[in-house]
Amino acid sequence: MLRLQNWAFTQGFALATESTKPKRVVYHCTHHKKETRNTRKTAEADRERVQTQTQARGCQFSLYISKTQRLDGQWAIGSTCLHHNHAPNPDPFHYTQHRKKKPGHAQAVALATAHRGVISYTASAEILRKEGLELSNRKEFYNLERREEKGELTKQEELQLLLTHLDDEGLHPRVRAETVEDGGSS
C-alpha cells in the first residue's frame, strides 16, 4: 500500500482501500464513490452536518493485488480501470493520505504535540510559523494524541516549551550548570 500510495502521490491523486480479503486487496481512487457511505441509514434531515463537502466524484480508477494460481501463488498487481474522470490534483498534499509526506511535517507534529493541552492552536501555529513549520489545519492540532499521563508534559518538555516562549519574546536565558562526578574508588 505504501508503494502504491507513493506512486499515486506522484500522479496527483490518493488511494483508498475498498476491500480486503486474505488473497485479494482492492484499492480505488479516493474519488471513487458517487455518494458518501451512510451505513446507519440516517435521513438527510436528521444528520448533524448536512450538505458537507465530499470527495465522491464517481471515479472508476481501481487497482488490486492478489495471489494468482497461474504464478504459483505469487502476488500480482492488476487493474480493472486505469482512467480517472477528474484531473490530477496539482497539490497532492491536499489529500489526507499524503500530508505526512510534506517536508517538516513530523517536526511540526512533534512540536505541536508538546503544545497540545498547554497552549491554544493559534499560539502553537505562531510558534510553528516562526520555526518555518505548519500543521495542515486546526483539526489536525486538536486531534493530536493526548499524553498517557493525563495530558501532562514531562519536566524536559516543560523546560523546552518555556525556553521556546522566552526565545520568541527576545529573552535569551543563560544556564550555568556544574557537573559533579563521584570519584569512587576501584
Per residue in 29-48, pLDDT (tens digit) is: 888 877 766 677 777 767 66
Q: What confidence category does residue 27 fall into, taking pLDDT thresholds of 50, 70 and 90?
A: very high
Least trusted range by pLDDT, from 16-20, 122-126, 143-147, 148-152: 148-152
C-alpha distances out from residue 24 to 16, 36, 70, 76, Å: 15, 24, 15, 10
Tell me the C-alpha distance between 186 and 178, whole Å.
24
- In this prediction the pTM is 0.56
65 three-class SS: strand
21 three-class SS: strand
Domains of the chain, earliest start first: 2-35+55-97 (2.20.25), 102-168 (no CATH)
**Closest alpha carbon to 159 in 173, 148, 147:** 173
Tell me the C-alpha distance between 4 and 25, whole Å.
12
Evaluate whether 25 touches 17 at the Cβ level (below 8 Å).
Answer: yes
Say yes or no to pLDDT of 147 above 50: no
Tell me the C-alpha distance between 155 and 158, whole Å.
5
Predicted pLDDT of residue 4? 86
